[in-house]
Amino acid sequence: MRRHLALAAALALAPLGTSALAQAPRPASAAPVPDAAAAAAVRQNFLTDLDSLQAKFLALANAFPADKYAWRPGAGVRSVGEAFMHVASEYYTFAPVAMGAPRSMVIGRGREAFQKFEQASTKEDVLKHLREGFAYARQNIAAVPTDSIAGTRKIFGGDHTIIETSAAVADDLHEHLGQLIAYARMNGVVPPWSK
């Protein structure tokens, strides 16, 4: 997935010429520093990926029987419902913050607040928060002024570009989709898009 996002970022930057890259030196391993036009293209690609992920998360959440939401593959591992709620928590917090938007206050700050949120994990809770969290993320990410997502900014303990932060969020959400597909298969639930 990182290679796909890096390729998308490179393609977004390529037609813009060297003006898309900032003049400040960056480590060779770092993503290119996008100008406003390139950052807007990266954001649009991220939102398109987020739409695709959301469709799959919702389809899978609906396919799981309500009585399987408490199932977990082992002690100390998130249940089906908790894994879906973790995705919803990322919609409310990680995804918007990574794009320069404010986090939702639906989830308080700190580990305990996230754990409490994830534990409210019935099918009804999951469907509600997948929808509302996604709507929050999408609306707030789209509302961030394009000039503020260009270049680099201090986030997650360092200077990062929207290319780096969008790749981190997308990687994590795709990982959770894979986790939930494995949970589904272990419970005899066929992902609806693979029938």
Question: CA 62, CA 154: separation in Å to the nearest integer?
Answer: 38
Question: CA 80, CA 139: separation in Å to the nearest integer?
Answer: 27
Is it true that domain 2-16+34-190 has CATH number 2.40.50.140? no
- Chain center to CA of 121: 19
Its pTM stands at 0.83
Bridge partners of residue 154, in order along the sequence = 159
Tens-digit pLDDT string for the chain (195 aa): 444 444 344 333 333 333 333 334 445 556 678 888 999 999 999 999 999 999 999 999 999 999 999 999 999 999 999 999 999 999 999 999 999 999 999 999 999 999 999 999 999 999 999 999 999 999 999 999 998 888 888 877 788 888 889 999 999 999 999 999 999 999 999 999 987
Q: What confidence tens digit (pLDDT) does each residue in 107-140 have?
A: 999 999 999 999 999 999 999 999 999 999 999 9
How is the chain split into domains, by residue range? 2-16+34-190
